[in-house]
């Protein structure tokens, strides 16, 4: 159980990062590997609570006090086994999970929480370094064939789980490379792409087949897949971005969805050559990022690395408070003011403004904003009862990156063709992960709406587990 007084004896130490001035010179990861001793000391801070709320806070229910204790005692191989029992890809979550486990840690009531994410990453990277991570070879095949559509974290987790019980799994991915948003959304400075390749190589050795440039509903017929495979698992994400709404002139040049910009940079980092006419280049430009969240932060970090003249992030919401609202108690995720590593690299943040017009000729030159005032206290999602609080004004803008979130999965093509039922938000409607077509199952952002890597992994795992039981129940008949 770690050291009972560890959280008092030792201070929390955050992951060490390269200084902002240094890391913005490149696109590589900037968090530094931690020494074993340092990680052991951090694990010693875990007091092994009777009811571990960190475990409740973690969407895959990682056995956090258990692996902390193993690390504290230097039993890294046991820590690795414990970690892998709940999480298929700790090398992804250890890098990019926002770690909802940490604010749920009991120590955070009186002190800083245990650095769980850092410990998780250290365990899995030590396991790779020591050669403990081996493909799980399957001793037999069931003869059941499953097609997984989409190779994001939900699809990869589902494929791995279904393959492990002997089903024959083929993953179809419309992009030229695997990984979904891990590959083309999240920048290299948060997750270098060899990390995905390393895991995919293991899954191939385990027997999973991957097909890229395989756009189901476009160049691959879903009817052919339905005939060839016993089950189809849709893990296609939530790819339809929210747009600018009714703002006039929103079709000017220089206005892009965040994913257009981020995908390009990720492709360039892979060595792909982009034609200068299509390349969105922030160098020496005034960049405005509209909207927050991970996507907005990734646009900021990428623009800064490209050499933008200025980066401004604008949000309709007021800045969150430093302390939790009463309606947002521990151990819930704290809705408090936070600064991401990209924001800390140098960007202006403007809160409580509405965007009213796009200015310029053919190309955007300025973005018109108007200050607003929100009622005191917590603002609920979807609440819009603000008042206009000032005159309109312009900010310079050569590139506007729209990062207002995602509506739902793309319906045109596959989803419409299959006639799948949707919920009122446009996500694919499932009952225990099964869609309105009994041969077709679904998981990840496609059923939940845009969420997190760890929730997608969990969803893929849960869908696989439910489908496994369903297949068994069918064969028992
Ligand atoms: C820019 C950005 C940054 C983010 N950063 C973080 C972060 O730091 N931490 C975090 O936890 N979460 C982050 N998220 C959220 C996280 O990436 C997603 O919640 C997660 O990737 C969803 O996983 P998924 O497998 O459901 O879908 P996706 O990752 O979207 O994968 C879906 C895959 O399906 C493929 N596909 C779709 N349709 C078809 C078809 N018809 N045929 C074949 N293939 C198809 C797509 O090409 C894609 O590869 C971020 C999201 C974005 C957009
Ligand atoms: S997956 Fe995320 S929430 Fe779960 S233990 Fe790791 S960092 Fe915490």
What SS3 string covers 312-350? Answer: EEECCCCCCCCCCCCCCCCCCCCCCCCCCHHHHCCCEEE
Q: Is residue 79 within a helix (H) or strand (E), and if so which, with residue range? A: helix 76-84
Name the DSSP letter for residue 375: P
* Contact criterion met (CB below 8 Å) for 99 and 62: no
With CA atoms as reference, report the closest residue to 102 among 328, 333, 320, 293. Answer: 333
For residue 353, what are the β-bridge partners?
Answer: 371
**Residue 313 shares a structural domain with residue 451:** no
**Residue 266 shares a structural domain with residue 372:** yes
Q: Is residue 398 part of a domain?
A: yes
Instruction: Output the CA 455–ligand 2 centroid distance in Å.
Output: 10
Instruction: Output the CA 25–ligand 1 centroid distance in Å.
Output: 27
With CA atoms as reference, report the closest residue to 85 among 168, 169, 164, 8. Answer: 164
Sheet holding 209-211, edge to edge: 209-211, 168-172, 145-149, 231-234, 440-442
Instruction: Output the CA 95–ligand 1 centroid distance in Å.
Output: 16
Instruction: Output the CA 263–ligand 1 centroid distance in Å.
Output: 12
Q: Is residue 25 part of a domain?
A: no
pLDDT of residue 1: 63
**Residue 187 shares a structural domain with residue 121:** no
* Contact criterion met (CB below 8 Å) for 73 and 32: no
Ligand number, closest to the Cα atom of 87: 2
Distance CA 402, CA 255 (A): 7
**Residue 151 shares a structural domain with residue 122:** no
Q: Which of 236, 241, 300, 402 to mutate to test the pocket of ligand 1 (most atoms within 8 A of CB)?
A: 236
Q: Is residue 318 part of a domain?
A: yes
The domain that contains 54 carries what CATH number? 1.10.1060.10
The ligand 2 atom at the shortest distance from the C-alpha of residue 60 is 4
* Contact criterion met (CB below 8 Å) for 196 and 182: yes
Q: Which of 46, 55, 93, 333 to mutate to test the pocket of ligand 2 (most atoms within 8 A of CB)?
A: 93
Q: Is the dihedral of CA 159, 161, 164, 165 positive or negative?
A: negative
Which residue's C-alpha comes closest to atom 15 of ligand 1? 452
The ligand 1 atom at the shortest distance from the C-alpha of residue 239 is 30
Ligand number, closest to the Cα atom of 113: 2
210: Cβ below 6 Å to ligand 1? no
The ligand 1 atom at the shortest distance from the C-alpha of residue 214 is 43
**Domain endpoint, select from 404, 419, 440:** 404
**Domain endpoint, select from 404, 434, 455:** 404
**Residue 248 shares a structural domain with residue 301:** yes
Residue found by looking up tokens 């691959």 in the block: 220
**Residue 411 shares a structural domain with residue 397:** no
Name the DSSP letter for residue 287: E
174: Cβ below 6 Å to ligand 1? yes
Which residue's C-alpha comes closest to atom 2 of ligand 2? 99
With CA atoms as reference, report the closest residue to 2 among 66, 57, 51. Answer: 66
Q: Is residue 1 part of a domain?
A: no
Ligand number, closest to the Cα atom of 265: 1
**Residue 216 shares a structural domain with residue 310:** no
pLDDT of residue 5: 85
Contacts of 190 (CB under 8 A, 6+ apart): 29, 95, 96, 298, 301
* Contact criterion met (CB below 8 Å) for 69 and 46: yes
Q: Which of 117, 150, 461 to mutate to test the pocket of ligand 1 (most atoms within 8 A of CB)?
A: 150
Structural domain of residue 62, as residue ranges? 6-18+32-130
**Residue 225 shares a structural domain with residue 278:** no
120: Cβ below 6 Å to ligand 2? yes
Q: Is residue 442 within a helix (H) or strand (E), and if so which, with residue range? A: strand 440-442
**Residue 365 shares a structural domain with residue 257:** yes
Q: Is residue 138 part of a domain?
A: no
Structural domain count of the chain: 3
Name the DSSP letter for residue 30: -
pLDDT (tens, 9 = 90+) of the chain, 477 residues, equals 667 788 889 999 999 999 999 999 999 999 988 899 999 999 999 988 889 999 999 999 999 999 999 999 999 999 999 999 999 999 999 999 999 999 999 999 999 999 999 999 999 999 999 999 999 999 999 999 999 999 999 999 999 999 999 999 999 999 999 999 999 999 999 999 999 999 999 999 999 999 999 999 999 999 999 999 999 999 999 999 999 887 777 789 999 999 999 999 999 999 999 998 999 999 999 999 999 889 999 999 999 999 999 999 999 999 999 999 999 999 999 999 999 999 999 999 999 999 989 999 999 999 999 999 999 999 988 888 999 999 999 999 999 999 999 999 999 999 999 999 999 999 999 999 999 999 999 999 999 999 999 999 999 999 999 999 999 998 887
Ligand number, closest to the Cα atom of 296: 1
The ligand 2 atom at the shortest distance from the C-alpha of residue 64 is 5
Ligand number, closest to the Cα atom of 58: 2
**Residue 201 shares a structural domain with residue 311:** no
**Residue 250 shares a structural domain with residue 393:** yes
Which residue's C-alpha comes closest to atom 6 of ligand 2? 117
235: Cβ below 6 Å to ligand 1? yes
Ligand number, closest to the Cα atom of 299: 1
Which residue's C-alpha comes closest to atom 20 of ligand 1? 453
For residue 240, what are the β-bridge partners?
Answer: 408
**Domain endpoint, select from 404, 424, 441:** 404
The domain that contains 156 carries what CATH number? 3.50.50.60
Q: Is residue 140 part of a domain?
A: no
Distance CA 193, CA 28 (A): 10
**Residue 76 shares a structural domain with residue 197:** no
CA 121 to chain centre: 16
Instruction: Output the CA 130–ligand 2 centroid distance in Å.
Output: 22
pLDDT of residue 6: 87
Which residue's C-alpha comes closest to atom 48 of ligand 1? 180
Q: Is residue 213 part of a domain?
A: yes
Q: Is residue 24 part of a domain?
A: no
């Amino acid at each position: 159980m770690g050291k009972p007084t560890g959280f008092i004896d030792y201070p929390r130490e955050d992951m060490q990062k390269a200084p902002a001035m240094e890391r913005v010179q490149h696109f590589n990861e900037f968090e530094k590997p931690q020494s074993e001793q340092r990680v052991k000391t951090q694990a010693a801070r875990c007091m092994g609570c009777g009811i571990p709320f960190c475990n409740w806070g973690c969407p895959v229910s990682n056995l956090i006090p258990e692996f902390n204790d193993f690390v504290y005692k230097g039993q890294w191989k046991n820590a690795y086994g414990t970690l892998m029992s709940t999480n298929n890809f700790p090398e992804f979550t250890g890098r990019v999970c926002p770690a909802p486990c940490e604010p749920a840690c009991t120590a955070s009531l009186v002190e800083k929480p245990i650095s769980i994410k850092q410990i998780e990453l250290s365990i899995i990277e030590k396991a790779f370094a020591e050669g403990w991570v081996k493909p799980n070879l399957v001793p037999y095949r069931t003869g059941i064939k499953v097609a997984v559509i989409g190779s994001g974290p939900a699809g990869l987790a589902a494929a791995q789980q279904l393959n492990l019980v002997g089903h024959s799994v083929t993953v179809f991915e419309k992009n030229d490379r695997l990984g979904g948003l891990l590959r083309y959304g999240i920048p290299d400075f948060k997750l270098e792409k060899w990390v995905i390749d390393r895991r995919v190589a293991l899954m191939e050795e385990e027997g999973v087949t991957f097909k890229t440039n395989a756009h189901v509903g476009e160049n691959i017929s879903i009817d052919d897949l339905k005939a060839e495979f016993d089950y189809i698992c849709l893990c296609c994400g939530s790819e339809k971005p929210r747009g600018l709404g009714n703002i006039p002139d929103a079709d000017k040049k220089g206005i892009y969805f965040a994913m257009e910009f981020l995908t390009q940079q990720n492709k360039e980092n892979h060595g792909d050559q982009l034609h200068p006419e299509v390349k969105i280049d922030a160098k020496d430009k005034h960049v405005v990022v509209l909207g927050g969240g991970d996507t907005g932060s990734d646009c900021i970090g990428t623009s800064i690395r490209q050499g933008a003249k200025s980066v401004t992030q604008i949000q309709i919401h007021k800045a969150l408070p430093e302390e939790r609202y009463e309606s947002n108690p521990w151990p819930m995720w704290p809705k408090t003011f936070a600064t991401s590593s990209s924001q800390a690299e140098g960007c202006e943040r403007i809160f409580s403004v509405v965007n009213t017009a796009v200015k310029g000729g053919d190309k955007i030159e300025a973005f018109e904003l108007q200050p607003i005032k929100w009622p005191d206290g917590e603002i609920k999602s979807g609440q819009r009862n603000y008042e206009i609080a000032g005159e309109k004004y312009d900010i310079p803008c050569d590139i506007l990156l729209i990062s207002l979130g995602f509506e739902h999965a793309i319906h045109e093509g596959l989803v419409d063709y299959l006639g799948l039922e949707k919920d009122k938000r446009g996500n694919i409607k499932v009952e225990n992960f099964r869609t309105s077509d009994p041969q077709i199952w679904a998981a990840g952002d496609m059923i939940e709406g845009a969420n997190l890597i760890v929730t997608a992994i969990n969803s893929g795992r849960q869908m696989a587990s439910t489908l496994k039981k369903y297949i068994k129940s069918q064969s028992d008949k």
